[in-house]
Amino acid sequence: MSIESLKEKLPPFAKDVRLNLSALATDDSLPPQRKYGLFVACGLATRNPTVAQALEAEAKAHLSPQALDAARAAASIMAMNNVYYRFVHLASNKEYGTMPARLRMNVIGNPGVDKIDFELWSLAVSAINGCGMCIDSHEKVLREAGVSAAEIHTAVRFAAVIQSTAVALEAAGFAPLMAAE
Protein backbone atom coordinates (compact mmCIF):
# COMPACT_ATOMS: atom_id res chain seq x y z
CA MET A 1 0.00 0.00 0.00
CA SER A 2 1.16 3.56 -0.66
CA ILE A 3 -0.07 7.12 -0.50
CA GLU A 4 -1.57 6.65 -3.97
CA SER A 5 -3.58 3.62 -2.83
CA LEU A 6 -4.60 5.49 0.31
CA LYS A 7 -5.89 8.38 -1.81
CA GLU A 8 -7.91 5.93 -3.91
CA LYS A 9 -9.68 4.72 -0.75
CA LEU A 10 -10.85 8.22 0.15
CA PRO A 11 -14.54 8.82 -0.62
CA PRO A 12 -15.79 11.67 -2.83
CA PHE A 13 -16.74 13.82 0.18
CA ALA A 14 -13.04 13.86 1.15
CA LYS A 15 -11.78 15.56 -2.02
CA ASP A 16 -9.95 18.21 0.01
CA VAL A 17 -8.29 15.53 2.12
CA ARG A 18 -7.16 13.75 -1.05
CA LEU A 19 -5.71 17.00 -2.44
CA ASN A 20 -3.95 17.77 0.83
CA LEU A 21 -2.52 14.25 0.98
CA SER A 22 -1.20 14.70 -2.57
CA ALA A 23 0.45 17.94 -1.46
CA LEU A 24 2.22 16.13 1.38
CA ALA A 25 3.50 13.47 -0.96
CA THR A 26 5.13 16.09 -3.19
CA ASP A 27 6.24 18.47 -0.42
CA ASP A 28 10.02 18.73 -0.48
CA SER A 29 10.38 21.49 2.10
CA LEU A 30 11.60 19.02 4.71
CA PRO A 31 14.64 16.75 4.50
CA PRO A 32 13.55 13.20 3.56
CA GLN A 33 14.12 11.68 7.02
CA ARG A 34 12.00 14.36 8.69
CA LYS A 35 9.23 14.06 6.10
CA TYR A 36 8.99 10.28 6.04
CA GLY A 37 9.42 10.03 9.80
CA LEU A 38 6.42 12.32 10.11
CA PHE A 39 4.44 9.96 7.87
CA VAL A 40 5.26 7.00 10.12
CA ALA A 41 4.84 8.70 13.51
CA CYS A 42 1.64 10.54 12.56
CA GLY A 43 0.20 7.51 10.77
CA LEU A 44 0.62 5.47 13.93
CA ALA A 45 -0.80 8.28 16.07
CA THR A 46 -4.07 8.18 14.10
CA ARG A 47 -4.58 4.61 15.35
CA ASN A 48 -5.96 3.75 11.92
CA PRO A 49 -4.24 0.60 10.60
CA THR A 50 -4.95 1.46 6.95
CA VAL A 51 -3.34 4.88 7.27
CA ALA A 52 -0.43 3.63 9.39
CA GLN A 53 0.38 0.75 7.03
CA ALA A 54 0.16 2.87 3.88
CA LEU A 55 2.37 5.62 5.25
CA GLU A 56 4.92 3.21 6.66
CA ALA A 57 5.08 1.39 3.32
CA GLU A 58 5.67 4.74 1.62
CA ALA A 59 8.38 5.68 4.12
CA LYS A 60 10.36 2.43 4.19
CA ALA A 61 12.26 3.25 0.99
CA HIS A 62 13.37 6.59 2.46
CA LEU A 63 14.23 5.68 6.06
CA SER A 64 16.97 3.58 7.58
CA PRO A 65 15.78 0.82 9.93
CA GLN A 66 16.96 3.01 12.84
CA ALA A 67 14.95 6.00 11.63
CA LEU A 68 11.88 3.84 11.08
CA ASP A 69 12.14 2.53 14.65
CA ALA A 70 12.72 6.06 15.97
CA ALA A 71 9.54 7.30 14.26
CA ARG A 72 7.66 4.37 15.77
CA ALA A 73 9.20 5.22 19.14
CA ALA A 74 8.09 8.86 18.84
CA ALA A 75 4.49 7.73 18.31
CA SER A 76 4.71 5.23 21.16
CA ILE A 77 6.34 7.43 23.77
CA MET A 78 4.08 10.36 22.94
CA ALA A 79 1.02 8.13 23.31
CA MET A 80 2.08 7.70 26.93
CA ASN A 81 3.39 11.21 27.59
CA ASN A 82 0.46 12.98 25.93
CA VAL A 83 -2.03 11.22 28.19
CA TYR A 84 0.00 11.82 31.32
CA TYR A 85 0.98 15.44 30.71
CA ARG A 86 -2.42 16.41 29.33
CA PHE A 87 -3.90 15.13 32.61
CA VAL A 88 -1.35 17.06 34.67
CA HIS A 89 -2.05 20.21 32.68
CA LEU A 90 -5.85 19.92 32.70
CA ALA A 91 -6.43 18.66 36.23
CA SER A 92 -7.78 21.31 38.58
CA ASN A 93 -5.69 19.84 41.38
CA LYS A 94 -2.21 21.27 40.64
CA GLU A 95 -0.64 18.88 43.16
CA TYR A 96 -0.22 16.34 40.31
CA GLY A 97 2.23 18.70 38.63
CA THR A 98 4.52 18.52 41.67
CA MET A 99 4.71 14.74 41.59
CA PRO A 100 7.40 12.88 39.64
CA ALA A 101 6.05 11.30 36.45
CA ARG A 102 7.90 8.02 37.14
CA LEU A 103 7.58 7.11 33.47
CA ARG A 104 10.54 5.75 31.52
CA MET A 105 11.34 8.00 28.56
CA ASN A 106 14.95 7.14 27.76
CA VAL A 107 14.25 7.12 24.03
CA ILE A 108 13.76 10.89 24.08
CA GLY A 109 17.37 11.37 25.17
CA ASN A 110 18.74 8.76 22.80
CA PRO A 111 16.32 8.21 19.89
CA GLY A 112 18.86 6.74 17.46
CA VAL A 113 18.36 9.60 14.98
CA ASP A 114 19.03 13.32 14.93
CA LYS A 115 17.38 14.80 18.02
CA ILE A 116 15.69 17.52 15.93
CA ASP A 117 13.96 14.93 13.75
CA PHE A 118 12.70 13.05 16.82
CA GLU A 119 11.50 16.27 18.48
CA LEU A 120 9.64 17.31 15.32
CA TRP A 121 7.93 13.91 15.09
CA SER A 122 7.05 14.09 18.79
CA LEU A 123 5.59 17.57 18.33
CA ALA A 124 3.41 16.42 15.43
CA VAL A 125 2.15 13.40 17.37
CA SER A 126 1.45 15.65 20.37
CA ALA A 127 -0.63 17.89 18.10
CA ILE A 128 -2.68 14.88 16.98
CA ASN A 129 -3.11 13.76 20.58
CA GLY A 130 -3.96 17.26 21.79
CA CYS A 131 -1.41 17.72 24.55
CA GLY A 132 -0.69 21.43 24.89
CA MET A 133 2.00 20.94 27.51
CA CYS A 134 3.91 18.56 25.21
CA ILE A 135 3.38 20.80 22.18
CA ASP A 136 4.90 23.74 24.08
CA SER A 137 7.80 21.65 25.36
CA HIS A 138 8.77 20.21 21.95
CA GLU A 139 8.25 23.53 20.15
CA LYS A 140 10.58 25.24 22.64
CA VAL A 141 13.31 22.64 22.13
CA LEU A 142 12.97 22.93 18.36
CA ARG A 143 13.06 26.74 18.34
CA GLU A 144 16.10 26.76 20.66
CA ALA A 145 17.81 24.39 18.20
CA GLY A 146 17.20 26.85 15.38
CA VAL A 147 14.27 25.13 13.68
CA SER A 148 12.15 27.71 11.89
CA ALA A 149 8.52 28.42 12.62
CA ALA A 150 7.81 27.47 8.99
CA GLU A 151 9.26 23.98 9.45
CA ILE A 152 7.34 23.46 12.69
CA HIS A 153 4.19 24.66 10.96
CA THR A 154 4.82 22.20 8.11
CA ALA A 155 5.15 19.31 10.56
CA VAL A 156 1.84 20.19 12.22
CA ARG A 157 0.21 20.54 8.80
CA PHE A 158 1.39 17.00 8.01
CA ALA A 159 -0.17 15.83 11.29
CA ALA A 160 -3.46 17.57 10.49
CA VAL A 161 -3.72 16.08 7.00
CA ILE A 162 -2.78 12.60 8.15
CA GLN A 163 -5.36 12.75 10.96
CA SER A 164 -8.02 13.98 8.54
CA THR A 165 -7.22 11.07 6.23
CA ALA A 166 -7.93 8.62 9.04
CA VAL A 167 -11.19 10.38 9.93
CA ALA A 168 -12.34 10.44 6.28
CA LEU A 169 -11.68 6.70 5.93
CA GLU A 170 -13.58 6.00 9.13
CA ALA A 171 -16.47 8.22 8.02
CA ALA A 172 -16.59 6.36 4.70
CA GLY A 173 -17.15 3.16 6.67
CA PHE A 174 -20.28 4.70 8.19
CA ALA A 175 -21.63 5.99 4.88
CA PRO A 176 -23.49 2.76 3.95
CA LEU A 177 -25.10 2.69 7.40
CA MET A 178 -26.21 6.31 7.11
CA ALA A 179 -27.61 5.78 3.61
CA ALA A 180 -29.74 2.87 4.84
CA GLU A 181 -31.45 4.95 7.53
Catalytic residue set? 131, 134
Burial (0-12, 13-18, 19+ Cβ within 10 Å), 142 = buried
Residues near 116 by Cβ (< 8 Å), separated by ≥ 6?
34, 142, 145, 147
Angstrom CA distances, 50 to 23, 57, 166, 179, stand at 19, 11, 8, 23
The HSE-up count of residue 35 (CA atoms within 13 Å, CB side) is 15
Contact 42, 55 (CB under 8 A): yes
Residues near 138 by Cβ (< 8 Å), separated by ≥ 6?
119, 120, 122, 123, 126
